[in-house]
Amino acid sequence: MESTSSFNFDDLISFPSTKKIMAGNIVNTNGENVPYFIELGFSKKSLADCNGWKNFTHEIIGEYIEEHLDDKDYEKTLQSKIMTEDLRWNWSKKAFNYNTSEYNWFFLKTEDDITQAVCLTFHPKESTLNKHNIFYIEYIASAPWNRNSLLYNREFKGVGIEIIKQIQRYFKETYHYKYGFSLHSLPQAQEFYEKIGMINYPKYNDKNGLFFYEIAEDKVTILLGETNAGN
């Protein structure tokens, strides 16, 4: 994991123009549909939003520890209650390091311009299944208040899968790639990826010990609800 730093990468980043490419609705915990849009490209505000997520998580963890001072193994207990593996990711540093044409940044934002999820992709990536061009997810995260947790109620449901679905449509429409994508998964996220139909291919578990997953074209059509795709 990356360590946080007082060094301000924002001062060195050349911020590209951003544009809204897709829109839809996500459901909040009250069952209400809330409009959102997908922003392509990163801005200072988007990166600041993502870097600020750790403050929310730190506050939740601090409250838990204060209430469970007698738990000598609280770190292990927390792992089953809240996702912390991406807590130290520095999104400004990632924007500084991944800003060439092979990388695309996507931000899912609600109409109040608050970032609810982020995904950084690399393309083209050769599929391990059929040698077609697909995209690869370098990093993906949803705001901590949108994740399943035993410590708090989430605000919006399904933002992680929604941003993936819209990105899949983007690469299909823009680059005419076949359906499919791959990634290396953090341990706490493996169950989620397997649930949506991704398969682990141990031969490619070559990135810091993380498991490599890819999803086949037919599984993507199911994910997108396009049952007649390809006919």
* Residue 135 near residue 179 (C-beta atoms within 8 A): no
**How far is C-alpha 57 from the chain's CA centre?**
16
Distance CA 81, CA 83 (A): 7
- According to the model, what pLDDT value does residue 51 have? 96
Q: Is the peptide bond before 124 cis (omega within 30 degrees of 0)?
A: yes
* Residue 35 near residue 122 (C-beta atoms within 8 A): no
- According to the model, what pLDDT value does residue 229 have? 45
Q: What is the mean pLDDT of each run of 10 residues along the chain (231 residues)?
A: 62 88 95 97 96 95 84 75 91 95 98 97 96 97 94 94 98 97 96 97 92 97 79 43
**How far is C-alpha 14 from the chain's CA centre?**
23
- According to the model, what pLDDT value does residue 230 have? 45
Distance CA 24, CA 167 (A): 13
**Is 179 exposed, middle or buried (CB count within 10 Å of its CB: 0-12, 13-18, 19+)?**
buried
- According to the model, what pLDDT value does residue 178 have? 96
Alpha helices in the chain (DSSP H): 44-67, 74-79, 91-97, 159-175, 190-195, 217-224
Strand, coil or helix: 82: coil
pTM, entire model: 0.91
CATH topology for 16-223? Aminopeptidase (3.40.630)
Structure tokens at 78: 């927390």
* Residue 127 near residue 214 (C-beta atoms within 8 A): yes
